[in-house]
Amino acid sequence: MKVTITDAALNWFKKEIELQPGMGIRFFGKIYGNTQVHDGFSVGMSVDVPEHPLFLEEIDGLTFYGEESDDWFFKGLEMTVDFDEKLNEPKYLFTEE
């Protein structure tokens, strides 16, 4: 599993989410919605403390991660987190590794 955060998405996270020390931005699979590679599931996001990270990226003082319990959602994939200017929110793009 690999995650890439674009500069536009990183700027959004810096403006919109305030993290306390030790906290990170967690990505996970949630019921409902779709991605390019999932039918019936989409990406959820929360602010939490990493416990058993499946992947973890630290960029400009922000921690982005997914937990081992979400391996079913991310297995064999690369996820790019970008920014949707029309919706003013992150968007998630998946490709197979």
At residue 97, does pLDDT exceed 90?
A: no
Q: Give pLDDT tens digits for 5-62.
A: 999 999 999 999 988 888 999 999 888 776 766 777 789 999 999 999 999 999 998 9
Distance CA 19, CA 72 (A): 27
Kindly give the pairing relationship between strand 24-34 and strand 62-67. parallel
For the entire predicted model, the pTM comes to 0.90
Closest by alpha carbon to 93, among 25, 11, 34, 26?
Answer: 34
Closest by alpha carbon to 86, among 8, 31, 22?
Answer: 8
Average pLDDT over residues 68-79: 93
At residue 78, does pLDDT exceed 90?
A: yes
Q: What is the pLDDT of residue 21?
A: 85
